[in-house]
Amino acid sequence: MAAFTLEAAPGTDIWRKPPTTDVWNAPISRTSSGPLKKFQSARATFWADWSERYDQAGLLLVPKPSSASAVFPPAKWIKTGLEFYLGKPHLSTVGCDRFADWSVGPLSLSEGERPPADEGVGGVTIEVVREGDEHGRSFWVYRLVLDAEGGVVERIPLREICWVLAEEEDGEGEEWVLDVSPLVARPEKSATEALKVAFKSFEVHWQS
C-alpha cells in the first residue's frame, strides 16, 4: 500500500482499565478484515512528531465472533507500535481480553531508520505474525529493522500473545473474524492540535 497520513484529534484513545474506564474513540480506517483462522501477518512502518504524553501509532487488531460485528466497543483487542511516554517514544504493546495490560520498552533508531527531516516518512516497522510450535499457537509481535531495500536485517521479539487464538471457534463452531487497522491516537485532552502520523506502509496477509 502506498504511503499515507492519518490524524487523531486530542482526547482520542483505546484503553480499558478497572473499575470503569473503557475508552474507544480513536479514528479507525483502512481496515482489512478476514477470518481469524486465515490471518498470517500484519506490518506497518510509520513515524510522527511525537510531543504529547501517550501519543501513539502502530497496528490495531480486533478479534471477535462473526455475530458480534455490531458490538461496541469490542470486548477484545490488541494494539502495538510506539507510544510517547516519559518524554520520548517507546515500543509499546497493549492486549485487552477482559481489561488491558501494557508493556513498554526502550526505542533506539539506527541511522537507516531515522525519518528524513524533509519528508517525515520512515521510522519504525512493527509486525504481528501468527506462529506455532510444539506448545501451541500464538501471535508474536516484532520490531523489524529493515535495510534500504526493505529487507529484514533484524527481527526483535517484543511480546507473545496467546489468548487471541484460543477462540478461533467457540463451543458451537462459530467463526471468529479479525479486523486489522493502522492505529493513531492522541489521548492528551489539553493538546491544541491533532497528531499526524505518516505511514510509509501498511500491509496485511491472509491465507488464500
pLDDT at residue 108 in the model: 84
Q: How many domains are there within the chain?
A: 1
Give me the CATH number covering residue 150: 2.60.120.200
Residues recorded for the chain? 208
Q: Write the CB contacts of 119 (distance below 8 Å, at least 6 apart in sequence).
A: 198
Residue 153, SS3 per DSSP: strand
With bands split at pLDDT 50, 70 and 90, how would you rate the model's confidence at 118? very low
34 or 171, which is more confident? 34
pLDDT at 146 (0 to 100): 87
Domain containing residue 67: 4-206
Neighbouring-strand partners of residue 151:
none
Give me the pLDDT at residue 68, please: 72
What's the one-letter identity of residue 147?
D
- Percentage helix, strand, coil, to 5, in the chain? 5, 55, 35
The residue that leads in pLDDT, 150 or 143, is: 143
**Ranked by mean pLDDT, which of 15-29, 64-78, 99-113 comes out on top?**
15-29
Across the range 70-83, mean pLDDT stands at 90
Write down the pLDDT at residue 116. 54
